[in-house]
Amino acid sequence: MPIEIAVPLVRAFEIYALVGVLVGGLFAFRGAARVDPDAAGAPLGFKLLIWPAAAALWPWSVWRMVGSKQPPIQSDAHRRAAREVAP
Protein backbone atom coordinates (compact mmCIF):
# COMPACT_ATOMS: atom_id res chain seq x y z
CA MET A 1 0.00 0.00 0.00
CA PRO A 2 1.47 3.37 -0.95
CA ILE A 3 2.31 5.74 1.88
CA GLU A 4 0.04 8.39 0.33
CA ILE A 5 -2.93 6.13 1.02
CA ALA A 6 -1.77 4.64 4.32
CA VAL A 7 -1.15 7.92 6.14
CA PRO A 8 -4.67 9.35 5.64
CA LEU A 9 -6.20 6.00 6.60
CA VAL A 10 -4.21 5.89 9.83
CA ARG A 11 -5.10 9.53 10.58
CA ALA A 12 -8.79 8.78 10.00
CA PHE A 13 -8.57 5.81 12.37
CA GLU A 14 -6.82 7.95 15.00
CA ILE A 15 -9.57 10.58 14.79
CA TYR A 16 -12.27 7.90 14.96
CA ALA A 17 -10.59 6.36 18.02
CA LEU A 18 -10.14 9.72 19.79
CA VAL A 19 -13.75 10.73 19.21
CA GLY A 20 -14.79 7.24 20.29
CA VAL A 21 -12.95 7.44 23.61
CA LEU A 22 -14.55 10.81 24.38
CA VAL A 23 -18.06 9.85 23.28
CA GLY A 24 -17.74 6.41 24.90
CA GLY A 25 -16.92 8.00 28.24
CA LEU A 26 -19.82 10.41 27.89
CA PHE A 27 -22.15 7.55 27.00
CA ALA A 28 -20.92 5.29 29.80
CA PHE A 29 -21.22 7.91 32.54
CA ARG A 30 -24.19 9.99 31.32
CA GLY A 31 -25.92 8.61 28.24
CA ALA A 32 -26.54 5.03 29.33
CA ALA A 33 -28.96 6.23 31.99
CA ARG A 34 -30.88 8.17 29.35
CA VAL A 35 -31.06 5.20 26.99
CA ASP A 36 -31.93 2.69 29.72
CA PRO A 37 -33.29 3.94 33.07
CA ASP A 38 -32.10 0.73 34.77
CA ALA A 39 -28.53 1.87 34.11
CA ALA A 40 -29.02 5.07 36.13
CA GLY A 41 -27.78 3.57 39.39
CA ALA A 42 -25.18 1.31 37.81
CA PRO A 43 -21.88 0.85 39.66
CA LEU A 44 -18.56 2.12 38.36
CA GLY A 45 -17.58 -1.37 37.21
CA PHE A 46 -20.53 -1.52 34.82
CA LYS A 47 -19.71 1.89 33.38
CA LEU A 48 -16.08 0.93 32.84
CA LEU A 49 -17.23 -2.30 31.22
CA ILE A 50 -19.45 -0.62 28.61
CA TRP A 51 -16.99 2.22 27.85
CA PRO A 52 -14.87 0.29 25.28
CA ALA A 53 -17.92 -0.92 23.36
CA ALA A 54 -19.46 2.54 23.38
CA ALA A 55 -16.14 3.95 22.15
CA ALA A 56 -15.86 1.44 19.31
CA LEU A 57 -19.48 1.97 18.27
CA TRP A 58 -19.59 5.71 19.00
CA PRO A 59 -21.81 6.69 16.04
CA TRP A 60 -24.47 4.31 17.37
CA SER A 61 -23.92 5.64 20.90
CA VAL A 62 -24.52 9.21 19.75
CA TRP A 63 -27.59 8.15 17.80
CA ARG A 64 -29.02 6.40 20.87
CA MET A 65 -28.27 9.33 23.21
CA VAL A 66 -29.74 11.95 20.91
CA GLY A 67 -32.66 10.04 19.45
CA SER A 68 -33.96 7.96 22.32
CA LYS A 69 -36.99 9.15 24.21
CA GLN A 70 -37.64 5.91 26.05
CA PRO A 71 -35.98 2.50 26.26
CA PRO A 72 -36.81 0.03 23.49
CA ILE A 73 -39.59 -2.45 24.17
CA GLN A 74 -38.49 -6.06 24.13
CA SER A 75 -40.41 -8.02 21.52
CA ASP A 76 -39.29 -11.60 21.16
CA ALA A 77 -40.69 -15.10 21.53
CA HIS A 78 -40.11 -15.17 25.29
CA ARG A 79 -41.97 -11.92 25.88
CA ARG A 80 -44.88 -13.01 23.68
CA ALA A 81 -45.11 -16.36 25.50
CA ALA A 82 -45.14 -14.57 28.85
CA ARG A 83 -48.00 -12.35 27.69
CA GLU A 84 -50.03 -15.39 26.61
CA VAL A 85 -49.59 -17.07 30.01
CA ALA A 86 -50.29 -13.93 32.05
CA PRO A 87 -53.93 -13.41 33.09
Secondary structure letter of residue 43 according to DSSP: -
For the segment 36-80, what is each residue's pLDDT rounded down to a tens digit? Answer: 888 888 999 999 999 999 999 999 989 988 886 666 677 788 888
pTM comes to 0.71
Does residue 64 contact residue 23 with C-beta atoms inside 8 Å? Answer: no
